[in-house]
Amino acid sequence: MLEIGISSNNECGKDYCEICENVKKFGFDNLMIAFKLGNVEQSVIDAKKYGLKIPFVHLSGRESNILWAKGECNDNYMKKLFHEIEVCSKYNIPIAVFHATEGAPSRIALKPSDFALEGIKKLVKKAEECNVKLAVENLDKSGLVQMKFILDNIKSDNLGFCYDAGHHNLYYPDYDILADYGDRLLAVHLHDNLMDWSEGFDHTRDLHRLPFDGKIDYEKVCKKIAETGYNNSVMLEIHKVGNGGPQIYENTSIEEFLSRANKSAVKLAEMIKNYQKNNK
């Protein structure tokens, strides 16, 4: 069912609980919790307290380059991810999105290796044991190598793909990523940008604006999503305080921002539904 959702990383409140209260007030019944916020279990409990459903979470991703390295840091990061998957299992959260790399062009991960593959297989096995599905997200252009390596080398019903439309259209718009991995689509991240990244730029082009406030062709995006048969939350991953500039929402109230966010999410859901009807 194509319900609308929003990420907890939207800066629409002075703290996490106020964010939960605000997004619920403005018509979002689904929340993607970013586990970077600290106490992962408490963040789930608080979201449920506000009547929010959690179709998927975002596992801790700031250390994702460590997946490709050996040593104590890798061991510690894997333990963190195992714990977060266990929390998903405990609270019946079916899907967890994760990064194959840190997703910043200025911080390049090590190349794929058999060692790293074996570690990620253990992560997938943990997900299988916990009845949780993992969805690896497409990030920047360099991280596409690691994402494809994971999906091409691990075949499991518990491993799929999270399509980030903003990253796709910013970093490699001419690559039809949904043609290659749409049959494994578990989650989506929808946001907008100016599609102006090129070699040498850092991550500040990744603006995470409201859909329709940038240059992404969302008719094309929704058509491609519809062709996959996607039936999960239409999830906005937007920031009131953008990753770069100009900061077009700094004088926009939280109320206006979330109201506009709701309208854009509803419009996206309707566009996907209409294309799905046409495909039947």
Closest CA to 136 of 114, 154, 122, 116: 154
Q: How far is CA 24 from the centre of its chain?
A: 20
3-class secondary structure, 76: helix
Query: Could you check whether the bond before residue 246 is cis, i.e. omega within 30 degrees of 0?
Result: yes
Distance CA 139, CA 108 (A): 12
- Is pLDDT of 38 > 70? no
**DSSP classification of residue 36:** G
Q: How confident is the model over 78-133, as pLDDT tens digits?
A: 999 999 999 999 999 999 999 999 987 777 888 999 999 999 999 999 999 999 99
Q: How confident is the model over 51-72, as pLDDT tens digits?
A: 999 999 999 988 999 999 999 9
Element (H, E) at 191: none
User: Average per-residue pLDDT in the chain?
Assistant: 95
Token pair for 7: 């990420």
Residues 174/227, Cβ–Cβ less than 8 Å: no
Predicted confidence at residue 37, as pLDDT, reads 61
Residue 160, strand partner residues? 135
